[in-house]
């Protein structure tokens, strides 16, 4: 068989998503406009599920495709499952919003929404399977371009347009920086393939300034994608301006993919001496993200902005897991990304489920006042997510934090752990504030709960997962994450 | 064997879920919630008694052990209790039904949620004392913040929001520092088992930092001066039952932490840093007693007196000998009963007059004679009158401390006098003199429910005061084990001290602690 067919077979999820997104486009075009959104969305979920099924018979060992541009291994498979589930949840949670009407009465939903989601998801899956700087770039851009459009999806809303434009301009800048880094790396190592770069890097006796610059530029570009400080500025504005379902999508799947991508590039392509260099950068990024995410969120009054800062802080915590560059750390990072995706999607879901009496979506934190009296179930779910995000045991959200800091301490990064924990105390303050608003304040506007039963079920599922009951998932989840992390370290011999 | 500890932890959780999802309209739900909560806590109490009866008092080993590798690789569900944990569990399950009864009528809004929060609280407290895995301990220890935050924040007084934040963030900050130390310890020792960690010899210079990290958490929980400031705020704003649990059980977590972790795991650092603990305890006793003297708010006064009593606990623990540690344990139990009861007494008159201002009362000995007697009893118990539990505790602590530092003992003894001053003055202002107003005069005396709440505490307080052996015997093997671990460590010389001797256990055999000999012979 021609190698191209073998490669296509190895890249199962991507193949399904590519064909599926084209089919979804056709389906949307030829369906009655009134039904197009629902049909295409459900079709998109089916495609995502199908892409997930192709992962079932994924080989245990790492397999390369497309002349080494692409890699299918346990690490990629783990992340793809998370991405596909998060993407499917994002498509489903948008449905009630899409079926609604804009302020000017026009039907809000256009079937392009699920199609764009599919394309973005395709980009995300390519990112985590990238074994070459060029694949990495293609994946990133494929994920980014639909995202820009999605951010501006509410056409009538000037804030949404502003969010899309801001995201696009800053994203383009970050891509430029990233590309510049890629060219530098290529210039100094002679290759764009991770293994080849690693071979050159390990063979070097002295530190190469060019490579260093390359790493810095690549990290800057990737830090933008995960919205880590100091490249986080777009996040609060985009989260606030973009329609809430879109912000929910941005907060989960792309972050998971970008974290995975970052882990693979750094661990596979820049081992040894270079690892010590990028570790310094990561320590800075992690600390500043945790601290800024915690401190800046305190002053927010808009719930979506708050969640934006919360995601900045969480990315900081997740990067603590990446910093040691050990299998233990990567395991913790993967565990973190799963739990984080559940917590943040859950919080957005609760927000989406609520409606002000005037029909406007809920955004101000003050709107949630007394929610425990008007909507006790949703308030309880939100409280679970908030305590979980704050990292208070016995809620599940504590354990990923525990895991990343355990990895950091095992690698003698004590200062990082201490600063991180203190930042988490500051962060606890604003999560507690939400709980206080919901439970201790008197109800102001009475919020209605409207939204689909599907969303309700997803909230219940996410809340159950984040609750202490979810701790039962630790063992299987960490076992899977350990296998996945091991794929990045084929030659790793544990110390001692 | 029946997994009794797991059942005791899970039963309140299940009951809490039942309570939160009861059917019916608001009034029906409230009354059903009260009944379910009371029934559950009584069952827990019965289970606690069964635990005590079945407990083997001759061994320091953990009993009723359970091991389930549920949450591997991070922690295991391993439970078990020794005598120290047993007595603190008894205290928790004893106070819990009383808390439910105390909230029977005074809590009117959101009764099911309130009861559910208390039941969760009970599960977490039992879990904290029963955990044999260091991270499982942390889970329960930290988890207790959530229900307490809600209890203060939702059902508290006027400044409840401020108080609940302060309580939560203060204790959380202390705890995360401890967590870093725990992670390091587990990484170094390669086990999460508390018993194994207690036998592991950490390097002496590392012990110093680990001790301070744990100290950050336990000193806040305890609370010790100068990190005690969250306590008066939390007490003043918490509902009565919340205060009882806070003073009765949650403050014991700090002392329990010291005896379970700090002393056996960092024996060298403990011996080296007694100047720190003694110094803070000395300041605490004198300073908070003086502060208590000038309080106008009854709850605040009792809260400050708690800080002073807790200083006796730290003083006794860091005497590092049998009498001191035993005295500290009895002090914790005694304080749990007495200060819990005092908060209940405040609650009784607060329910009638809705103020805690001392000046608004007076003459209660005339108008509420039964109440005045009960209040007098607990005032005396708090002061440490012989035949009450407080006396046993203070006496043992001072005997223990005297062997380690005479100066510290001297200052703490002054604290007893100051304690008598503020408590008796409080009693004089509330019970004697003239009633401050007609509404004060019109207050009805204790009703049957209130007597039913307070009578058991009176009985146990007297029991502990007259025959403390029942409470000391189960703890002695475990305490002997801790002391054995501490024996021979180099003590720091305190600059203010006259003589210092290396630690010996049981130099003096006081009358109230005849069992100390047996404990000494045990190792």
pLDDT at A351 over 60: yes
| Distance, CA of B340 to CA of B345 (rounded, Å) | 9
- Alpha-carbon distance B339 to A408, whole Å? 43
Contact indicator for A13, A84 with CB cutoff of 8 Å: yes
Supply the ipTM of this predicted assembly: 0.89
Residue B507 is predicted with a pLDDT of 45
Chain A residues within an 8 Å CB radius of B181: none
Percent of chain A with pLDDT over 90: 54
Chain A contact set for B158 (CB, 8 A): none
Say whether residue A475 is in contact with chain B using an 8 A CB cutoff.
yes
Across chain B, what does the average pLDDT equal?
86
* Whole-number Å distance between alpha carbons of B416 and B395: 11
User: Residue B523's pLDDT band (boundaries 50, 70, 90)?
Assistant: very low
Written in H, E and C, the secondary structure of B116-145 is HHHHHHHHHHHHHHHECEHHHHHHHHHHCH
Which pLDDT value is given to residue A202?
A: 86
CB atoms A403 and B74 under 8 Å? yes
Contact criterion met (CB < 8 Å) for B180 and A417: yes
B500 pLDDT band, cuts 50/70/90, is very low
A279-331 per-position pLDDT tens digit = 999 999 999 999 999 999 888 889 999 999 999 999 999 999 999 989 999 99
Quick check: A269 and A201 in contact, CB under 8 A?
A: yes
Residues 6+ apart with CB under 8 A from B455: none
Q: Are A77 and A480 in contact (CB under 8 A)?
A: no
In terms of Cα–Cα distance, which of A95, A127, A140, A86 is closest to A113? A95
Residue-wise pLDDT for A389-399, tens only, equals: 998 888 999 99
As a whole number of angstroms, the distance between CA B458 and CA A43 comes to 70
Q: Is a pLDDT exceeding 50 seen at residue A489?
A: yes
Residues 165-204 of chain B whose Cβ lies under 8 A from any Cβ of chain A: 165, 168-169, 172-173, 176-177, 179-180, 183-184, 186-187
Would the CB atoms of B172 and A425 count as touching at under 8 Å? Answer: yes
Please tell me if residue B353 touches chain A, with a CB cutoff of 8 Å.
no
Confidence label for A172 from pLDDT (cuts 50, 70 and 90)? very high
CB B80 within 8 A of CB B1: no
Tens of pLDDT, residue by residue over B143-191, are 988 888 888 888 887 788 888 888 888 888 888 889 999 999 998 888 8
Of B142, B153, B187, the CB nearest to A436: B153
Residue A39 three-state SS:
helix
CB-based contact B183 A405, cutoff 8 Å: yes
Task: Please check the confidence at residue B486 and state whether its pLDDT lies above 80.
Answer: yes
Mean pLDDT, chain A, integer: 89
What per-residue confidence (pLDDT) applies to A8? 86
The shortest C-alpha distance from B33 to chain A (Å) reads 17
Could you say which of B70, B142, B186 has the minimum Cβ distance to residue A392? B142
Per-residue pLDDT tens digits for B284-326: 999 999 999 998 888 889 999 999 999 999 999 998 888 999 9
Q: Does A440 contact B160 at a Cβ distance shorter than 8 Å?
A: yes
Question: Which element (helix H / strand E) includes B81?
Answer: strand B75-81
Contact A402 B179 (CB under 8 A): yes
Residue A495 has pLDDT above 60, yes or no: no
pLDDT digits (tens, 9 = 90+) for A1-29: 788 888 888 888 999 999 999 999 999 88
Cβ pair A251, A348 in contact under 8 A: yes
For range B360-378, the mean pLDDT:
87
pTM: 0.90
- Count interface pairs A-B at CB distance under 8 A: 90
Six-digit token string for B491: 């003590």
Predicted pLDDT of residue B136: 93
The pLDDT, as a whole number, for residue B512 is 46
Quick one: average pLDDT of B248-254?
88
User: Chain B within 8 Å of A464 (Cβ-Cβ)?
Assistant: no
Q: Does A393 touch chain B (CB under 8 A)?
A: yes
- Closest alpha carbon within chain A to B170: A425
**pLDDT tens-digit map of B258-290:** 999 999 999 888 888 888 889 999 999 999 999
Instruction: Count how many Cα atoms sit within 13 Å of the Cα of residue A489 in the half-sphere of its side chain.
Output: 18
Q: Does A402 touch chain B (CB under 8 A)?
A: yes
Q: What's the gap in Å between the CA of A445 and the closest CA on chain B?
A: 19
Neighbours of A486 (CB within 10 A): 16
Of A455-459, B350-354, B417-421, the range with the lowest mean pLDDT is: B350-354
Please give, rounded to a whole number of angstroms, the shortest distance from the CA of B470 to a CA of chain A. Answer: 35
Closest CA to B349 of B454, B458, B460: B454
- CB contact, 8 Å: B428 with chain A? no
3-state helix, strand, coil in chain B (%, to 5): 75, 5, 20
Q: Nearest-CA distance from B178 to chain A in Å?
A: 10
* Residue in chain A nearest B176 by alpha carbon: A421
Please name every residue paired with B270 in a beta bridge, in sequence order, or none if there are none. none
**Bond preceding residue B73 cis, omega within 30 of 0:** yes
Sign for the CA dihedral angle at A189, A195, A199, A202 comes to positive
A387: closest CA of chain B, how far (Å): 8
Contact: A421, B146; criterion CB under 8 Å = no
Q: How many CB atoms lie within 10 A of CB B449?
A: 12
Res. B328 pLDDT band, cuts 50 70 90: very high
Top-confidence residue, A257 or A59: A257
pLDDT band at B498 (very low <50, low <70, confident <90, very high): very low
pLDDT at position A211, please? 86
Nearest to B74 among A399, A435, A440 (CB): A399
pLDDT at A49 over 90: yes
Eight-class DSSP state of B260: I
In this prediction, residue B519 carries a pLDDT of 43
Residues 408-427 of A with CB under 8 A from B: 409-410, 414, 417-418, 421-422, 424-425
Contacts of B180 in chain A (CB under 8 A): 405, 409, 414, 417-418, 421
Question: What pLDDT, on a 0 to 100 scale, did the predictor assign at position B516?
Answer: 42
Of A406, A440, A471, the CB nearest to B161: A440
Is the torsion defined by CA of B109, B112, B115, B119 positive or negative? negative
- Asked whether the predicted pLDDT for residue A430 surpasses 50, the reply is yes
No. of helices (H) and no. of strands (E), chain A: 21, 4
pLDDT class for A205, splitting at 50, 70, 90?
A: confident
pLDDT in tens, B444-462: 888 888 899 899 999 999 9
Q: Identify the pLDDT of residue B356.
A: 84
Query: What is the tens place of the pLDDT at every residue in B383-436?
Result: 988 888 989 999 999 999 988 888 888 988 988 899 899 999 999 988 888 877
pLDDT in tens, B32-83: 888 999 999 999 999 999 999 998 888 888 989 898 888 888 888 999 999 9
Q: Distance, in angstroms, between A335 CA and closest chain B CA?
A: 12
């Amino acid at each position: 068989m021609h190698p191209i067919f073998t490669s296509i077979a190895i890249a199962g999820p991507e193949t399904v998503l590519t064909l599926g997104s084209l089919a979804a486009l056709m389906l949307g075009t030829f369906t009655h406009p009134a039904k197009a959104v629902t049909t295409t969305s459900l079709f998109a979920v089916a495609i995502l599920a199908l892409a997930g099924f192709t992962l079932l018979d994924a080989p245990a060992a790492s397999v390369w495709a497309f002349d080494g541009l692409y890699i299918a291994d346990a690490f990629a498979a783990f992340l793809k499952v998370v991405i596909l589930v998060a993407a499917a949840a994002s498509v489903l949670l948008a449905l009630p919003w899409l079926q609604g009407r804009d302020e000017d009465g026009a039907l809000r939903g256009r079937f392009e929404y699920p199609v764009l989601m599919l394309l973005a998801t395709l980009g995300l899956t390519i990112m985590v399977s990238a074994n070459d700087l060029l694949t990495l770039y293609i994946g990133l851009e494929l994920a980014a371009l639909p995202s820009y459009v999605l951010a501006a999806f509410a056409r009538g809303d000037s804030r949404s347009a502003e969010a899309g434009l801001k995201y696009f301009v800053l994203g383009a800048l970050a891509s430029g920086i990233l590309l510049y880094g890629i060219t530098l790396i290529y210039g100094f190592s002679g290759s764009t393939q991770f293994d080849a770069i690693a071979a050159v890097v390990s063979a070097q006796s002295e530190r190469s300034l060019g490579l260093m610059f390359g790493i810095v530029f690549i990290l800057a570009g990737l830090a933008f994608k995960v919205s880590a400080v100091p490249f986080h500025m777009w996040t609060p504005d985009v989260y606030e301006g973009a329609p809430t379902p879109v912000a929910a999508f941005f907060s989960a799947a792309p972050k998971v993919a970008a974290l995975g991508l970052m882990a693979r590039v750094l661990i596979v392509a820049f081992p040894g001496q270079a690892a010590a260099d990028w570790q310094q950068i990561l320590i800075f990024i992690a600390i500043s993200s945790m601290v800024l995410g915690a401190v800046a969120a305190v002053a927010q009054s808009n719930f979506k902005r708050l969640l934006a800062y919360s995601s900045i802080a969480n990315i900081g915590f997740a990067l603590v897991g990446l910093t040691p560059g050990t299998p233990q750390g990567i395991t913790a990072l993967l565990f973190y990304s799963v739990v984080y995706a559940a917590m943040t999607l859950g919080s957005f879901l609760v927000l989406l489920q609520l409606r002000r009496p005037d029909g406007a979506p809920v955004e101000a934190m003050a709107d949630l006042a007394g929610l425990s009296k008007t909507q006790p179930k949703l308030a309880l779910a939100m409280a679970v997510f908030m305590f979980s995000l704050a990292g208070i045991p016995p809620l599940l959200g504590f354990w990923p934090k525990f895991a990343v800091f355990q990895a950091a301490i095992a690698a003698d990064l004590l200062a990082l752990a201490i600063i991180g924990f203190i930042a988490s105390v500051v962060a606890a303050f604003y999560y507690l504030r939400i709980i206080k608003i919901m439970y201790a304040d008197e109800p102001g506007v009475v919020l209605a709960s409207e939204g689909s039963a599907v969303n309700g079920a997803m909230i219940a599922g996410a809340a159950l997962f984040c609750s202490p009951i979810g701790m039962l998932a630790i063992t299987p989840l960490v076992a899977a994450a350990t296998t996945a992390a091991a794929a990045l370290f084929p030659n790793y011999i544990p110390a001692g | 064997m029946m997994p009794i500890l797991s059942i005791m932890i899970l039963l309140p959780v299940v009951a809490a879920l039942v309570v939160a999802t009861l059917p019916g309209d608001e009034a029906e739900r409230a009354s059903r919630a009260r009944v379910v909560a009371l029934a559950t806590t009584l069952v827990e109490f019965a289970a606690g008694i069964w635990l005590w009866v079945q407990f083997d008092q001759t061994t320091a080993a953990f009993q009723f052990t359970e091991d389930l590798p549920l949450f591997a690789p991070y922690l295991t569900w391993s439970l078990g209790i020794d005598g120290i944990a047993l007595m603190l569990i008894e205290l928790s399950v004893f106070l819990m039904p009383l808390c439910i009864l105390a909230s029977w009528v005074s809590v009117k809004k959101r009764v099911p949620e309130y009861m559910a929060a208390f039941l969760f609280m009970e599960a977490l407290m039992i879990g904290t004392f029963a955990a044999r895995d260091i991270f499982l301990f942390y889970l329960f220890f930290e988890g207790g913040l959530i229900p307490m935050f809600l209890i203060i924040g939702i059902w508290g007084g006027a400044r409840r929001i401020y108080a609940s934040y302060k309580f939560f963030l203060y204790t959380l900050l202390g705890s995360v520092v401890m967590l870093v130390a725990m992670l390091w310890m587990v990484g170094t020792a390669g086990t999460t088992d508390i018993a194994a960690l207690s036998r592991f010899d950490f390097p002496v210079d590392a012990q110093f930092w680990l001790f301070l990290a744990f100290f950050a958490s336990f000193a806040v929980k305890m609370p010790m001066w100068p990190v005690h400031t969250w306590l008066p705020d939390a007490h003043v704003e918490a509902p009565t039952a919340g205060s009882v649990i806070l003073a009765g059980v949650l403050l014991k977590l700090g002392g329990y932490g010291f005896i379970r972790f700090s002393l056996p795991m960092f024996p060298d650092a403990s011996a080296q840093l007694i100047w720190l603990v003694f110094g803070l305890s000395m300041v605490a006793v004198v300073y908070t007693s003086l502060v208590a003297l000038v309080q106008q708010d009854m709850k605040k006064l009792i809260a400050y007196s708690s800080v002073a009593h807790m200083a006796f606990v730290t003083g006794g623990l860091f005497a590092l000998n049998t009498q001191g540690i035993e005295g500290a344990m009895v002090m914790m139990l005694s304080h749990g009963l007495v200060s819990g009861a005092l908060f209940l007494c405040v609650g009784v008159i607060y329910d009638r007059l809705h103020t805690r201002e001392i000046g608004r009362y007076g003459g209660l000995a005339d108008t509420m004679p039964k109440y005045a007697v009960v209040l007098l009893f607990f005032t005396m118990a708090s002061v440490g009158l012989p035949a009450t539990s407080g006396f046993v505790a203070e006496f043992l602590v001072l005997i223990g401390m005297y062997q380690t530092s005479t100066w510290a003992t001297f200052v703490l003894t002054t604290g007893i006098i100051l304690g008598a001053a503020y408590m008796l003055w409080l009693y004089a202002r509330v019970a004697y003199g003239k009633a401050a107003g007609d509404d004060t005069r019109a207050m009805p005396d204790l009703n049957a429910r209130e007597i039913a709440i307070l009578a058991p505490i009176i009985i146990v307080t007297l029991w502990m005061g007259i025959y403390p052996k029942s409470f000391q015997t189960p703890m002695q093997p475990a305490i002997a084990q801790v002391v054995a671990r501490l024996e021979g460590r180099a003590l720091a010389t305190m600059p203010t001290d006259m003589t210092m001797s290396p630690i010996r256990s049981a130099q003096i055999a006081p009358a109230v602690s005849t069992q100390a000999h047996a404990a000494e012979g045990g190792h």
